[in-house]
Amino acid sequence: NGAPQICRLRPDGFCLATAVMRSPAVTASGATEAELPQLLARAKGVIDAVYDGNVMLLRAVEGHADTIPIDTSSRFRPTSALPEIVIHGAKFKEWNRIRSSGIRSASGPIRLCTEAPPKGTALPSLGGGKAEVLVHLNVSSLAAEGIELFEALGGEGGEADQFERLASTGDDDGLIGAR
């Protein structure tokens, strides 16, 4: 997206408007933050803008070229209220790949549970399938690797999943772990 590395996309595709405005492409165009409202009005249907508190966030509506899947149906916010351990549910056939390459989601952000779901619980990230392997991840280790966790707020006014309450886009390669 041309924005500085300090601005990773959130799982819902949004990033800080101030970081986008400091990106080389926007800076080279001569656009300023004062012009942002007019630019957004002209870019309706191309750029979404929302406020998280008093912080403006931007997201491209189309034309994503990122390798990180974007979940535009849900809303996320940064959170610091985290347990010591988070859990990723997976199918057993993925276990060797997870051990060697890390966790990656092909269909949206990496979903994480704040507690172990009971055996046989269907998880949305598995297409309603049941987790056969629960991968426990140390939150402080994730933070040390620069991996951000976001609280899932659910879709347009909807509730977040009972167990998969957190999400992450992983590192710069869209992965968690196996480094």
**87 shares its domain with 56:** no
Strands annotated E in 26-80? 47-52, 55-60, 74-78
Give the Cα separation of 46 and 139 in Å (integer).
35
**147 shares its domain with 86:** yes
Its pTM stands at 0.61
Which residue has better confidence, 154 or 139?
Answer: 139
Is 178 inside a domain boundary?
A: no
**Radius of gyration of the CA atoms of the chain, in A:** 17
CA atoms within a 13 Å half-sphere pointing along the CA-CB vector of 146: 10
**58 shares its domain with 114:** no
Is 108 inside a domain boundary?
A: yes
Which residue has better confidence, 173 or 95?
Answer: 95
Total number of domains in the chain: 2
SS3 80: coil
**3 shares its domain with 53:** yes
Cα angle 173, 145, 164; round to 5:
75
Is 7 inside a domain boundary?
A: yes
| The domain boundary residue, chosen from 66, 91, 121 | 66
**50 shares its domain with 25:** yes
| The domain boundary residue, chosen from 21, 37, 66 | 66
**82 shares its domain with 28:** no
Pick from 178, 179, 177, 171: which is nearest to 68 by CA?
171
User: Quick check: 61 and 46 in contact, CB under 8 A?
Assistant: yes
Span 91-148, pLDDT tens digits:
888 888 888 888 887 667 888 888 888 888 888 777 778 888 899 999 999 888 888 8
User: Quick check: 142 and 149 in contact, CB under 8 A?
Assistant: yes
**136 shares its domain with 61:** no
DSSP 130: B
User: Quick check: 146 and 100 in contact, CB under 8 A?
Assistant: no
pLDDT band at 74 (very low <50, low <70, confident <90, very high): low
The whole domain housing 105 covers 77-168
**31 shares its domain with 52:** yes
pLDDT band at 86 (very low <50, low <70, confident <90, very high): very high
**57 shares its domain with 135:** no
**59 shares its domain with 95:** no
**89 shares its domain with 160:** yes
Which residue has better confidence, 169 or 157?
Answer: 169
**30 shares its domain with 102:** no
